[in-house]
Amino acid sequence: MLRKIRITLAVIFWGLITLLFLDFTGTVHQWFGWMAKIQFLPAVLALNFVVVIGLVLLTLLLGRVYCSVICPLGVMQDGIAWLGRRGKKHRNRYSYSPAVSWLRYAVLVLFVVALIAGINSFVALLAPYSAYGRIVSSLLAPIYAWSNNILADYAERADSYAFYQTDVWLKSLPVLVIASVSFIVLAILSWRNGRTYCNTVCPVGTVLGFLSRYSWLKPVIDTSRCNGCGLCARRCKAACIDSKNHAIDYSRCVTCMDCIDNCHQSAIRYVHRSGAVKAAVDDHVAQTGDSGRRNFMAGVGVLAVTAVAKAEEKTVDGGLAAIADKKVPSRRTTIVPPGAQGLRHFAQHCTGCQLCVQACPNGVLRPSSGLVTLMQPESSYERGYCRPECTRCSEVCPAGAILKINRADKSSIQIGHAVWVKDNCIPVVDGVECGNCARRCPVGAITMVPSDPANPESVKIPVVNDERCIGCGACENLCPSRPFSAIYVEGHENHRVI
């Protein structure tokens, strides 16, 4: 019964979190956006102490149920492992293996060091929630969007507008490659060995594993009933049951309840361990190495410490080529969304989960290809601009990298300023009137003035009021100049309210 309850809850959590990354209407986020905010690492980076304390207490009470119910990457691995066990030949395929403690804690230490050093790409690579977000947004979301477009096409032919078309485009090739490799590696590991990633690589699993050693309730082997058949160990995808010594490594047990359901002698129960059992278990835990405790305390103490992300210094190429599509200008300072407060705050909290990228309705956010900020979102205006009335990214961010703002705040936050490139401007190059940037500026920060002050009839060129510009990118996006816009947005390291 416990196993069925766990599987039911896990499927519900997994399905709804997956929909958060697939939904492009914003409907799911209104009801279930909180599920992203209770993920462990985003809650830590957001300094959401209520959630963090709640997850710690949950682990101390029930064991690693977070890993088997709440974590979508863990549930995905369980699903793949279940497929790998189909058929009588592979049903009892697992076996006990000693904990590779040195690897688990080495990865945790590297993870913490990466946070301190600001190597956010490494942090995002290991974080389980972020890895799952990349897999869904890069591999599953395009299929979901294409399916929606097919339905929209058929619905339109039937004079129904229950569905509408949505753009499907490659937001980042490096992220697609990383997501594909991550999925393949995880699929192979879980297909063959179950929860190998969770118990040897995942830093969140290592932290929770330390806590779960002291959980109040846990699977306990009743030696008076056990006949030593070893079926529990062969069904344990965490490889943590030593049936010969009647011991369970609780730091690796993910409380999946498989062993309880499959024990024919009812020799394993989910209870508070007695004094006798406690002594035996403590001996086994001591053999796994107490050095992990010191590593854990050091890791937790610096999980909230992060580094400053530095943007590459580049210049804008002012040349014009004979192509129709717009090219991305190389900015001296990366643009991050309103609510991010600036590059430092954003780099300290962003886990690169891609939730805001998927939620952006204007095609502005896409993953960075920079080495230090790899997979973290940044703004670019080739497909759209950051509309002053849109606050979607701030509403869905679970890690506090983009703080929640309202529409009034959005219109007053300056994330950058527009820069005019004379050599690209149509009035200067072709001698004809344009003024598209001034007409479309939502805050009226651009004014058209005569190119020749002495001649009021000369063609007019744009002048940008830096104090009024909020960096929304409407001018850059709607500029007719190709391939580079005659006006582009330069980001600000620290945002300010105007």
Q: What is the pLDDT of residues 36-77, one digit of tens each?
A: 999 999 999 898 999 999 999 999 999 999 999 999 999 999
Q: Are 275 and 89 in contact (CB under 8 A)?
A: no
For Cα atoms 12, 5, 71, give the angle at the middle one, nearest 5 degrees: 45
Q: Note the pLDDT of residue 248.
A: 93
- Each residue's pLDDT, cut to its tens digit, for the chain (498 residues) gives 889 999 999 999 999 999 999 988 888 888 999 999 999 999 998 989 999 999 999 999 999 999 999 999 999 999 999 998 776 565 667 889 998 999 999 999 999 998 888 777 888 899 999 999 999 999 999 999 999 999 999 888 888 887 888 888 888 899 999 999 999 999 999 998 899 999 999 999 999 999 999 999 999 998 888 988 889 998 899 999 998 888 999 999 999 999 998 898 889 999 986 544 444 444 444 444 444 444 434 443 433 333 333 323 333 333 433 345 678 888 899 999 999 999 999 988 999 999 999 999 999 999 998 877 889 999 999 999 999 999 999 999 999 999 999 999 999 999 999 999 999 999 999 989 999 999 999 999 999 999 998 898 899 999 999 999 999 999 999 999 988 899 999 999 999 998
Per residue, what are the HEC states of the chain? Answer: CHHHHHHHHHHHHHHHHHHHHHCCCCHHHHHHCHHHHCCHHHHHHCCCHHHHHHHHHHHHHHCCHHHHHHCHHHHHHHHHHHHHCCCHHHCCCCCCCCCCHHHHHHHHHHHHHHHHHCCHHHHHHHCHHHHHHHHHHHHHHHHHHHHHHHHHHHHHHCCCCCCCCCCCCCCCHHHHHHHHHHHHHHHHHHHHHCCHHHHHCCHHHHHHHHHHCCCCCEEEECCCCCCCCCHHHHHCCCCCEECCCCEECCCCCCCCCHHHHHCCCCCEEEECCCHHHHHHHHHHHHHCCCHHHHHHHHHHHHCCCCCCCCCCCCCCCCCCCCCCCCCCCCCCCCCCCCCCCEHHHHHHHCCCCCHHHHHCCCCCEEECCCCCCCCCEEECCCCCCCCCCCCHHHHHCCCCCCCCCCHHHHCCEEEEEEEECHHHCHHHHCCCCCCHHHHHCCCCCEEEEECCCCCCCCCEEEEECCCCCCCCCHHHHHCCCCCCCCEEEEEEEEEEEC
Distance of CA 94 to the CA centre of its chain: 31
For 120-151, write each residue's pLDDT tens digit.
788 889 999 999 999 999 999 999 999 999 99
Q: Are 259 and 234 in contact (CB under 8 A)?
A: no
Integer Cα distance of 64 and 300 in angstroms: 17
Contacts of range 297-305, beta carbons closer than 8 Å, 24 or more positions apart: 298/109, 298/112, 299/108, 299/109, 299/111, 299/112, 299/203, 299/207, 300/207, 302/112, 302/115, 302/116, 303/44, 303/45, 303/112, 303/115, 304/44, 304/45, 304/47, 305/115, 305/116
Q: Note the pLDDT of residue 5.
A: 93
Q: Note the pLDDT of residue 473.
A: 95
Q: Note the pLDDT of residue 87.
A: 60
Q: Which amino acid is at 354?
A: Q
Q: Note the pLDDT of residue 288.
A: 44
